[in-house]
Amino acid sequence: MLAAAGAMVVAVASSAEAEPMSAGNIVDIGAQLEVALKGRIVQRCEIQGGESIDLGELRGGLVAAAGFGLDCNVPFDINVSSARGGLAHASQPQGEGPFAGMLPYDLKVTVPTRHPEREVVVEGRFFSPDMMAHAVLSSGDGIASGRGWLELRTRAPSGAGLLAGRYRETLTMTISPRV
């Protein structure tokens, strides 16, 4: 047997004359070769999107929806946080007189996941003030299986209604692998 640059070379000589069999020239035709193979897939968890949503004239019962990209090849958690706990008046979030400066909302996050045998839609429902403490939606044992969806629904304002002016809120979604 000769070895050459990472390959195995077997030299077999033939001769017209039969030679007696000896331990040095026996070739085992039924020999077995085992090769160990290994590799890896790097875990990835990404979320894409981040568009702005203009709700127009604010009132209770408004609904807005937006999709977001999701690419995660391991089970994951989505952390959802609200910067203000609702749509807050730009300069007077506490309101003034009988008029409120905060419009609370409900958020529904829907994520399709793939489990070994089936697809399961994971859904989380959150109330805006509660999201200031970072709400979490877990995929369980599932991995991402397509686009996710956000649905925001405003609640009725308290008091005499909303104070006139501009309102804003920032929702942050962070995805992290669960390993």
Higher pLDDT among residues 26 and 99, named by residue? 99
Q: What is the pLDDT of residues 54-80, one digit of tens each?
A: 999 999 999 999 999 999 999 999 999
pLDDT band at 34 (very low <50, low <70, confident <90, very high): very high
pLDDT higher than 50, residue 7: no
Place 93 in a pLDDT band, splitting at 50, 70 and 90: very high
Q: Which residues contact 144 (CB under 8 A, 6 or more apart)?
A: 45, 70, 71, 72, 73, 76, 111, 112, 113, 114
What average pLDDT does this structure show over 130-145?
92
Check if the beta carbon of residue 130 is closer than 8 Å to that of residue 147: no
Structure confidence at residue 59 (pLDDT): 94
Which range, of 3-12, 81-90, 105-114, 145-154, averages the lowest pLDDT? Answer: 3-12
CA-nearest of 63, 69, 141 to 108 is 63
Checking if the pLDDT of 146 tops 90, the result is no
How far apart CA 84 and CA 171 sit, in angstroms, is: 9
With a cut of 90, say whether residue 124 has pLDDT above it: yes
Per-residue confidence (pLDDT) for residue 36, from 0 to 100: 94
Q: Phi and psi (nearest 5°) for 130?
A: -70, -25
User: Is residue 11 over pLDDT 70?
Assistant: no
| Cα R_g (the chain), whole angstroms | 32
Spatial distance between the Cα atoms of 106 and 130, rounded to a whole number of angstroms: 10
Q: What is the pLDDT of residue 118?
A: 84
* Three-class SS of the chain: CEEECCEEECCCCCCCCCCCCCHHHCCCCCCCCCCCCCCCCCCCEEEECCCCCCCCCCCCCCEEEEEEEEEECCCEEEEEEECCCCEEECCCCCCECCEECEECEEEEEEEEEECCCCEEEEEEEEEHHHHHHCEEEECCCCEECCCEEEEEEECCCCECCECCCCEECCEEEEEEECC
pLDDT confidence bin for 20, thresholds 50/70/90: low
Q: Report the range of poorest mean pLDDT among 11-15, 31-35, 80-84, 146-150.
A: 11-15
